[in-house]
Structure 1
Amino acid sequence: MFPIVEFNPNKLKIKTMPYTSNSIPIQGRKYTLTHSDRTGELYLSIGFQYDMSTINKNIRDEFLAEIVLQNNQYFLQGKVYVSGGEFNEQTAKKRYIIFQRELRLAITAIIYGDWGFFFQNPHLLDANIMIYFESDYPSFNQILCYGTPRHYISTFHFQTS
């Protein structure tokens, strides 16, 4: 899970994948966010595809997000993997609680890390952020709203106009 700390931009390492810029793509723009428990660093990859090479398939504590267009409305749609049969319900609950607690940090890292893109596309600052908690336990298999990117930019003092 992501470390329990306030967002520190000096701990964010950003990798922009090929054919990705501050203007393209909009729809289908994907974010892969992972971290190091040892250093507290966050690793953000931005591109047309998820950066599967950065995901630890044994731990599964990554945060994936994508900009989607649905019914003429943009969303930042994210996903965290809580459980799929390999964890008992108590462990799944612990993962669910930790993800809920740490998602604000993860979302802040994405908005900060791709600020040039959001600055170029200010209409996306009001896109709803919907996060899917993927779990085989119904009580943790949920979709929750985490506000809009505009709610997160105040934490890093950028001007939007």
Structure 2
Amino acid sequence: MTNFSPEKLSVEYRDGITPVQPVIPRHYTLTHSDLTGDLFLTIGNHYAWDKVTSMRDEVLGEWKENSSFLYYCVYVYIDQEPFNQLISAKRYEVFRRELPLALTAIRCGDNLLFQNYPILDQAIIVVNFVSAYPPFARQENWGMFHNYSVK
């Protein structure tokens, strides 16, 4: 995993979302530049589809509620056109390796929300690896947000 550098992160709020409200709906689109290593986090009522490229290497996330607790749901798209299982296998490995960096960037980028609602640091993170290939299509628990805070 690449080390997280807060100075490489840019955050943009959209659609009336502020650094402290609302929690739901709150959608996150994390993209990056392969050239500079910069990370770009867009937080809004909807995903920032205008930031998504044909590479499909973004990390999407949103807060959800189940009965009485909140959890964070992540979506990563493993397959890329043209569909090829070997390419998907490589992308799956890269997503797994870089996901801790992405979660740290999301936690850091929305730090004021976590300061206002400390309970969010105890939220479970559910990662959905989306793929047409069964070995890569899975849902996993990736712990809680307090594991991804910048020390």
For normalisation by structure 2, the TM-score amounts to 0.95
In structure 1, the residue matched to 2:48 is 51
Hey, what's the Cα distance between the residues in 2 that align with 1:105 and 1:47? 21
Aligned partners of 2:32 and 2:38 also within 8 Å: yes
Paired residue type of 1:8: S
Q: What is the CA distance between 1:86 and its match in structure 2? A: 3.0
Hey, what's the Cα distance between the residues in 2 that align with 1:20 and 1:85? 33
1:11 aligns with 2:45: no
Given the alignment, which residue of 113, 138, 150 partners 1:117? Answer: 113
Q: What is the CA distance between 1:84 and its match in structure 2? A: 6.4
Q: What is the CA distance between 1:75 and its match in structure 2? A: 0.7
Q: Which runs of 4+ in 1 moved over 3 A?
A: none
Given the alignment, which residue of 13, 17, 28 partners 1:20? Answer: 17
CA deviation vs aligned residue, 1:26-50 (integer Å, no higher than 9, x gap): 1221100000000100000011111
In structure 1, the residue matched to 2:88 is 92
Hey, what's the Cα distance between the residues in 1 that align with 2:101 and 2:71? 18
RMSD (Å), alpha carbons: 1.3
Give ranges in structure 1 of 5+ residues lacking alignment: none
Aligned partners of 2:56 and 2:80 also within 8 Å: no
Aligned partners of 1:126 and 1:149 also within 8 Å: yes
Hey, what's the Cα distance between the residues in 2 that align with 1:112 and 1:10? 11
Hey, what's the Cα distance between the residues in 1 that align with 2:80 and 2:148? 30
Paired residue type of 2:14: M
Residues 136 and 51 of structure 1, relative CA distance in 2, 3 Å threshold = same
Hey, what's the Cα distance between the residues in 2 that align with 1:74 and 1:9? 26
Hey, what's the Cα distance between the residues in 2 that align with 1:23 and 1:8? 23
Secondary structure of 2:144's counterpart equals coil
